[in-house]
Amino acid sequence: MKRIPVEASRKYDVLVGYGILENAGGYCREVIEPCKALIITDSNVEPLYSDTVTASLLNSGYSVFHYVFTAGERSKNIHTLTAILEFAAENRFTRTDIFVALGGGVTGDIAGLAAALYQRGIRYVQVPTTFLAAIDSSVGGKTAINLIAGKNLAGAFWQPSLVICDCDTFKTLPDSVFADGTAEAIKYGMITELPLFEQFEHGSISRDLDNIVTSCVNIKRRLVSRDEYDRGARQLLNFGHTIGHAIEKLSGYSISHGNAISIGMVMMSRAAEQMSMTREPCSKRLSRALERHGLETECPYKAGELLEAVLGDKKRSGDEITLVIPTRPGKCRLHTVPTGDIERILELGLKRGDE
């Protein structure tokens, strides 16, 4: 098992290994004395992994409660959040107790926000069970729900006390959900680490998942420790996300986060090439790598349709928006543009290179 320390406003470890869910309680006990633990999970993950985590927490002296919500991005809303907070209050959780987010990024984001809000903040443990949650959403303390107006528009920075990532849980993921994680892993390769990108471009990944998770978490922890509150370097992690969030919203969340950011990354790369901002062309390499892993790369919406949703994104600040521009595979940079330029950038992003 690997132990990766994260240095942020709260210091914590990310544990990465195989079969480690069975000792989840023991790992929790290393950092949090036995107390009440509320396992927050979704309707798909509950029958798969809740018993294992519950038994381990009970064996380590915790008393365990469960809150299960309907799986899916559409549950990442204020109603689910309120229901979790009311459940904790009805069961007399106090500030010395903990929440345990068992599931993918939806569970982690909503349980993390509930932990940030409940009695002005209680500790929580992330137990990611999707590839995406393992490499991205469980680390770094961004928590959120979606509003009707758009994606992740209400949230808080609230770091977990521990992250327990058992790569064995990926074995039960549907291929399309695994692919969503691949999109974020390719993003890490594109923004800072060419060899990681090349592994997805040409190599095999299935036997190397714990190393890939470790590489991604290492990239993320470096960016989070430099810029926990997303005012600078951390924004590189948003590559493809401004357009991706717009696509998710326009689709009513029927296009998954991974597919949406996959399309968003390709569009940003095409636009950057056509604006002569790249040092090497990268959009074709990027789209081939994404398609190799079953991800969508073509946007079903027109520039005008995307524009409004992009302008509602939280990465906008006044009349400007900061975009992540690839200069070559393995290197991206931040570039702030006036919001008036966005429609043209979207149009360029929609043009395939061979058109």
Contact flag: residue 72 with ligand NAD (CB under 6 A): yes
Exactly one of 123, 257, 270, 331 binds ligand NAD (CB under 6 A); which one?
257
Helix (H) or strand (E) holding 128: strand 123-128
130 binds, among ligand NAD, ligand GLY, none (CB under 5 to 8 A by kind): ligand NAD
Q: How far apart are CA 251 and CA 95, in angstroms?
A: 39
Contacts of 236 (CB under 8 A, 6+ apart): 191, 192, 223, 324, 332, 333, 334
Among 180, 193, 210, 273, binds ligand NAD (CB under 6 A): 180
Q: Which is nearer to ligand NAD, 182 or 199 (CB)?
A: 182
When the beta carbons of 97 and 109 are compared against ligand NAD, the nearer one is 109
Q: Structure tokens of 18?
A: 């195989």
**Contacts of residue 308, Cβ cutoff 8 Å, sequence gap at least 6:** none
**Looking at residue 141, what DSSP letter applies?**
-
330 binds ligand GLY (CB under 6 A): no
Which span sits near ligand GLY by CB under 6 A: 34-42, 148-156, 230-238, 294-302?
230-238
237 forms part of the interface with ligand GLY (CB under 6 A): yes
Which one of 60, 97, 100, 136 is in contact with ligand NAD (CB under 6 A)? 136
Q: Cβ of residue 281: shortest distance to ligand NAD, in angstroms?
A: 27
Residue sitting closest to ligand GLY (CB): 237
- Please report whether residue 193 would count as binding ligand NAD according to CB under 6 A: no
In single-letter form, the type of residue at position 108 comes to: G
Q: Which does 234 bind (CB under 5 to 8 A by kind): ligand GLY, ligand NAD, none?
A: ligand GLY
Pick out residues in 40-59 that bind ligand NAD (CB under 6 A). Answer: 42, 44-45, 48
Beta carbon nearer to ligand NAD, 130 or 192: 130
List helix spans (H) across the chain: 24-31, 46-59, 78-90, 105-117, 131-132, 175-192, 194-202, 209-226, 241-250, 257-274, 283-292, 303-311, 342-350
CA dihedral 39, 44, 45, 47 (to 10 degrees): 90
Q: Number of residues in contact with ligand GLY, rule: CB under 6 A?
A: 6
Q: Are strands 150-157 and 320-328 parallel, antiparallel or unpaired?
A: unpaired
Q: Is 234 in the site for ligand GLY (CB under 6 A)?
A: yes
Give the CA distances from residue 149 to residues 4, 68, 75, 153, 313, in Å, rounded to whole numbers and listed in that order.
36, 25, 15, 8, 9
Residue 249 binding result from ligand NAD, ligand GLY, none, given CB thresholds of 5 to 8 Å by partner type:
none
* d(C-alpha 156, C-alpha 110), whole Å: 10
DSSP 255: S
Contacting positions for ligand GLY (CB under 6 A)? 136, 140, 142, 230, 234, 237
Contacting positions for ligand NAD (CB under 6 A)? 42, 44-45, 48, 71-73, 76, 103-107, 109, 129-130, 132-133, 136-137, 140, 142, 152, 169, 172-173, 177, 180, 257
